[in-house]
A and B are shown apart, each in its own frame.
Chain A
Amino acid sequence: DAGVTQSPTHLIKTRGQQVTLRCSPKSGHDTVSWYQQALGQGPQFIFQYYEEEERQRGNFPDRFSGHQFPNYSSELNVNALLLGDSALYLCASSSTGEETQYFGPGTRLLVL
């Protein structure tokens, strides 16, 4: 049983570019959440997707957007990249009625 998978593992972009990160949830899970973890900090909630809709959003600008597909996989898009967007981006999945979120290995984004 595969856990949460994310791609790519690492990414280097330059300021102003756009990036798309991908996540496949754990088998049986229908909810995907995205977090940003800056160096030396805990994960910060970006948003959560359920039934292909954004259910809740954290304090992130509109440059951060997402999508959930019918197979429950998800994408995180970041436009107009800033140096401060450099971080580890974590995807977490869960199932309805299950409180625990299970995390993927993350995508490390470096913006130059």
Chain B
Amino acid sequence: AQSVAQPEDQVNVAEGNPLTVKCTYSVSGNPYLFWYVQYPNRGLQFLLKYITGDNLVKGSYGFEAEFNKSQTSFHLKKPSALVSDSALYFCAVREVGNAGKSTFGDGTTLTVKP
């Protein structure tokens, strides 16, 4: 079985400050990990993924995420937040070798204030 937890429903940061959106996961084997962003009344937009290799993954729009196997975490980060980063963020996991189902967290709403 696989599962994802996003412990914060809401994250508020000031523009220009660093942001972190937390994600922890559980899988039986090794994970593929993903971050997606969703704007109101829109589908999910891919940000970045961890497949293998370097634990620090860089993605779109200046976002990055760090894979930590011992803590089973994959937190999303950005050094300097923009107001336009305000959106709903989803973490997802899929077990390596499982070509089908991805399991998503319930999402974290990020609000960046000017």
Name A's interface SS: strand
Within 8 A of A (CB), among B53-100: 90, 92, 94, 98-100
Does A48 count as interface, using CB distance less than 8 angstroms?
Answer: yes
Closest Cβ neighbor of B96 among chain A residues: A99
Q: How far is the CA of A97 from the CA of B42 in the complex (A)?
A: 27
Does A14 count as interface, using CB distance less than 8 angstroms?
Answer: no
Which 7 residue pairs of A and B lie closest in terms of their CB atoms, listed nearest first?
A56-B100, A42-B104, A103-B44, A103-B43, A45-B101, A105-B43, A48-B100
Additional pairs, 12, CB under 8 Å, beyond known A40-B106, A56-B99, A102-B46:
A4-B43, A42-B4, A42-B92, A43-B44, A43-B90, A45-B103, A48-B99, A55-B99, A56-B101, A101-B46, A101-B102, A103-B43
Residues of B within 8 A of A (CB): 4, 32, 34, 36, 41-46, 49, 51, 90, 92, 94, 98-107
Residues of A within 8 A of B (CB): 4, 6, 31, 33, 35, 40-45, 48, 50, 55-56, 58, 90, 92, 99-106, 108
